Amino acid sequence: MTDDLRHPIFARLYPRLDAASAKAGGDEHRAELLDGAAGRVLEIGAGYGANFPHYPEAVAEVVALEPEPRLRALAAEAASRAPVPVTVRPGRAEDLDLDDASVDVVVASLVLCSVRDPIRALAEIRRVLRPGGELRYYEHVRGRTPGKIRFQRYADLAWPLIAAGCRVSRPTDEWIAGSGFTVRGQRRFEFPPTAMPNPASPHVLGIAVRD
């Protein structure tokens, strides 16, 4: 199986869309996600490297996997400007090319919505984390009201086609809690702040510790 997943249109659009999101508060979320991270880090689905400027000095090394070639090239450029050593390489979250218990932290931001098999990805993340290691996550997730969930299920009929496989109705926070992690802290919020109905607005930002 090749590690490449080509989404050329999404890869062109995503950095611009995310720049708007960064101004609306996304940058603060990324800083919060990585605050206190330390040691050897694996970032899955790193995109164009939007998290890289936010890694604190206590991080010794980041291995950043990105299966989309155009985004991976942008991530490699961003890695050269990062405040800590970052190595960018191909790779899918469901099949990690890392040893058991070999990393201190795994970072997943806005990615478990897109991986084809998130349960397998979480099993892989758990495998490569050392016991007590942290999964730091920033994800949009399933809403809480029946109306919102219905809206998300309708959106998911078309959303994955325009957003490179992303699904908005996934209960990723529940899957994390049920995959051999203890959630140490998590906050839930709506983002971005807009009056427009947005099926991807429910977000979680948290840390789960590998049992």
Q: Is 160 exposed, middle or buried (0-12, 13-18, 19+ CB in 10 A)?
A: middle
The interface region with ligand SAM, picked from 81-89, 106-114, 125-133, 197-205 by CB under 6 A, is: 106-114
With CB under 6 A as the contact rule, the residue among 74, 96, 109, 169 that binds ligand SAM is: 109
The tokens of 10 are what? 């999404």
Q: Does 46 bind ligand SAM (CB under 6 A)?
A: yes
Alpha-carbon 149 to chain mean position: 21
Which residue of 76, 82, 86, 110 would you call a contact of ligand SAM, by CB under 6 A? Answer: 110
In the bound state with ligand SAM, the residue whose beta carbon lies nearer, of 119 and 211, is 119
By CB under 6 A, residue 44 contacts ligand SAM: yes
Count Cβ atoms below 10 Å from residue 112 Cβ, excluding itself.
28
Residue 32 touching ligand SAM (CB under 6 A): no
Residue ranges in 53-92 that form contacts with ligand SAM under rule CB under 6 A: 65-68, 71, 92
Strand residues in 45-180 grouped as ranges (E): 59-65, 86-89, 103-109, 129-140
Per-residue exposure over 27-56, b if at least 16 CB sit within 10 Å of its own CB, e if not: bebbeebbeebeebbbbbbbbbbbbbebbe
CB of 125 to ligand SAM, least distance (A): 11
- Least separation in angstroms between residue 35's CB and ligand SAM is 16
Q: Whose Cβ is closer to ligand SAM: residue 5's or residue 63's?
A: 5
Q: Which of 6, 15, 22 is nearest to 138 (CA)?
A: 22
Q: Which residues bind ligand SAM (CB under 6 A)?
A: 5, 14, 18, 44-47, 50-51, 65-68, 71, 92-94, 109-111, 114-116
